[in-house]
Chain A
């Protein structure tokens, strides 16, 4: 019953601890809606046919011999009973719905807190250990997560359909939302409150990791910090660091994945929201202003800090500024990564490059000893024809997993 209705109504997978309960109420209310509309519709059509003109009283236009209808003693009780019953049904919906609302609104006391800052048009997540990510939220499965959210500019709304949860993110206030994902998987984050030009591209992803993977990820984040030490945050090469000998380009790819760059920029020439990075470095590109420019270090850096200044012809002005979000070494690493993609064809459209042709190939495919944590966020892996998601899509075969 659950699976069948779930599919007919096209609901997303039930990926949070409360989703299933909410869906049961959903079924009850929607089936009542359908039954009500069908019932009234049938009754109207039945009366129309049964009492059509010329069948009963005095032909089509003749005077009606019956006196004006008056409401008799008995039928008053019938009507009151009918409307009382209907109202009781609505009140039952209200009681169950509000009880569930209270459960959705009140986070459990032992929830893990993650801070969320929304801005046009990006989600930034800050974890208790001081690390952060943009666009992709990493959470452990089976543990209540409380998001404490605020906005830097206008009102946004944090929405994960698979969790059946949504909360507005308001400047000058902090709002909270909690959920408990029941198993590892990846789910779409959407901004549900209209926030301007890039509203529909303000999407992200929740990656639910198993408890062990989450712990490993916490440890694995070290290389990124090595590449980009913030002032006053001395570089640390931890003993647990799995691969201290990463190239700068590989670090750049990891930073680009965490910062959300790869949600819009592909690295294999596939057209997407932003210009592909394949073969971008030192190419001459046309600008919106009509000028042409060589995509060198200076142009790439400027485009990260002030994307609207020299917009690539034919792309929407939706990229947010990364001013202050990336440290200088991180910017350098990203530029180095783009440089490493110089010989990938800009028009290959997802053709994997023969390793012999390009020295960049080993970087495009996962390096041995790559931190596994860099993979889930990496659009590159999902886009590449050989790419296999690290985590299988949620158990219900659904609309949620991207093609």
Chain B
């Protein structure tokens, strides 16, 4: 049986494929390109911030650069990456299905994503965007830059996100193997399912609000302009109604990866399957009720501040349930420290510290000081970027043997994982202190007493960049030259490892029969 990689040859067999695995690989390449681009923007920012005044960017170019960094990283990398790459590849296999429910829709989702990405990048090239990734009105509706084109591009990317979400929901409901009940789903499927629900419900609101900005910018309709009867704060409500749940679109799939990695490498079932599955849905639900905590100093009523602060605490509790469940999964296990586990350790530190600073930020009186400072920047990079990036890399190393049928060099991967995790902590810890000291975010020039913390942060960023570059180098090498991998190199009990390595075009040579659960480590494989 030939693998999906060898089944057909030629460029068109990839570009016009309806195989979810090939589409996943195309998404992997596209999102890795976005990560590279956004990472280069980040390095440019960090280098410019080495000095309090101008190093090589003007204020205008700096403002464009941080906008481009945010837009690329959020909309082109973090929101789509884990669902479209690993969800696409493994959701059907984990369900024992030959493909997603709508293979053509899946291919369409890829091309819609690429079209949106091209529009966004074209907007950056011709005129740029200087509004910040949050597009706050009325600045965004009056900015001289290519706001209409850029927001339209993000709108198109959002359509791709909805298509993928619909496809995943339909697949989980209709394509499960015989006898695979809801309690026998791998936890990664639960997290992708919860994510898909948020994608389908919340993304239209983002699309709507960005479309309003685009038309307001193009034809000066005054939707957010008080001089014409509009309301600038309305935009913030609309924007965060999507963009707060979007945080969970980014982190929930990462949590699904954590559950798989921690069970496999502790050779142990999750301490509580139900706790993890239900808290995924709990986060997805509560995430819709907390958007106001982005607006504690925006002139919202005091009552609203109290209500949103209280609701935000529930998110922390659901996340805490997950953290303790993962931790106690290690207990009484047989724990192996592999590359994905190194990323898991990094994830746990970043997620707990980042999450607890989230509790701190939801404490409304403290948020007054921290709002829009580097503390917030450090907080969301720790929890959202740190959580997603470490688990993206963990997923890549965990499933690499299954996806490509090859192994990567273990020593290099340990070096790279250490550099990424330590570089990340080193980059953003100084930024917590900068925020405490009162340095606002999106500042091109800053008072000189903050300089040493910026230098430390840039030093950390360069370690992080080297770690990521190393990852790229040996993974590309391993795709073509790595040693052949076995079918189940980690001894996992999850269903995707039952498929041949790499999987054939329709995943299983014969229909998958479920005889045990995905975490039944007490049974022989």
Contact = CB atoms under 8 A, between A and B. Distances in A.
Given A51-B332, A52-B334, A63-B521, A91 B313 contact: yes
Contacts of B440: 159, 190-192, 200
A108 to B, nearest CB: 16
Given A104-B365, A198-B59, A171 B524 contact: no
Interface residues of A, number: 96
A29 B366 contact: yes
A98 B226 contact: no
A59 B331 CA distance: 15
Interface stretch (A30-38, A250-258, A297-305): A30-38
A168 B359 contact: no
A98 B296 CA distance: 11
Interface stretch (A41-49, A236-244, A361-369): A41-49
Interface string A391-403: 0000000010011
Interface stretch (A66-74, A135-143, A373-381): A66-74
A285 B521 CA distance: 79
Interface stretch (B107-115, B201-209, B396-404, B431-439): B431-439
A129 interface: no
Contact of A37 (B59, B305, B352): B352
A161 B331 contact: no
Interface stretch (B22-30, B75-83, B367-375, B467-475): B367-375
A116 interface: no
Given A87-B317, A101-B368, A195 B139 contact: yes
Given A65-B522, A97-B365, A10 B297 contact: no
Interface stretch (B33-41, B212-220, B445-453): B445-453
Given A37-B356, A51-B334, A97-B365, A166 B297 contact: yes
A211 interface: no
Contact of A94 (B363, B436, B525): B363
A193 interface: yes
B334 A154 contact: no
A93 interface: yes
Contacts of A25: 363, 365-366
A82 B263 CA distance: 23
Nearest to A39: B352
B320 A172 contact: no
A170 B271 contact: no
A194 B335 CA distance: 47
Interface in A132-170: 153-155, 157, 159, 161-162, 164-168, 170
A40 B226 contact: no
B302 A105 contact: yes
B446 A200 contact: yes
Nearest to A201: B445
A59 B316 CA distance: 37
A193 B372 contact: yes
A351 interface: no
Contacts of A212: none
Q: Which of A55, A60, A170, A317 has the most CB of B within 10 A?
A: A170
B71 interface: no
Contact of B327 (A47, A93, A157, A201): A47
Contact of B348 (A11, A44, A58, A171): A44
B171 to A, nearest CB: 27
Residue from A37, A45, A161 whose CB has the most chain B CB atoms within 10 Å: A37
Interface string A14-39: 00000000100110011011101100
- Main SS of the interface on chain A? mixed
Contacts of A273: 53, 445
Contacts of A96: 363, 365
A157 B63 contact: no
Contact of A64 (B225, B369, B447, B522): B522
Interface string B41-72: 00000000000011000111001000000000
Contacts of A93: 313, 359-360, 363
Contacts of A57: 332, 334
Contacts of B11: none
A120 to B, nearest CB: 9
A383 interface: no
Contact of A164 (B142, B266, B369, B491): B369
Contact of A87 (B138, B269, B313, B520): B313
B512 to A, nearest CB: 21
A175 interface: yes
Nearest to B306: A98
Given A40-B323, A40-B352, A170-B232, A90 B316 contact: yes
Contacts of A317: 60
A167 B335 contact: no
B443 A200 contact: yes
Interface string B98-141: 00000000000000000000000000000000111000101100
17 contacts: A10-B434, A12-B438, A22-B366, A47-B335, A57-B332, A63-B522, A64-B267, A65-B522, A83-B317, A96-B363, A96-B365, A101-B302, A105-B302, A165-B368, A166-B297, A196-B143, A200-B444
Given A61-B267, A93-B360, A171-B232, 6 more contacts: A22-B366, A29-B360, A33-B356, A37-B356, A52-B336, A199-B444
The 10 closest A-B pairs by CB, nearest first: A172-B226, A161-B438, A100-B365, A97-B363, A33-B356, A47-B330, A200-B443, A37-B353, A101-B364, A154-B139
